Amino acid sequence: MVCRPRHVHAHLCTADGTLCHTVLTPRKSG
């Protein structure tokens, strides 16, 4: 459920911490 939607996970991670965002940023760009 959470593994499927990546855009949703990024939103939740960003609110929790920027650590997740850093890992999602390069993944979306690449």
Q: Give CA–CA dist 26/30, Å, rounded.
A: 6
Q: Which two tokens stand for residue 24?
A: 């999602």
Query: Is the distance from CB of 14 to CB of 8 less than 8 angstroms?
Result: no
Question: Over the stretch 1-30, which tens digit does the pLDDT of each residue have?
Answer: 445 555 555 555 555 555 555 655 565 555
* Predicted pLDDT at 14: 52
Q: Which two tokens stand for residue 29?
A: 């760009």
* Predicted pLDDT at 24: 56
* Predicted pLDDT at 1: 45
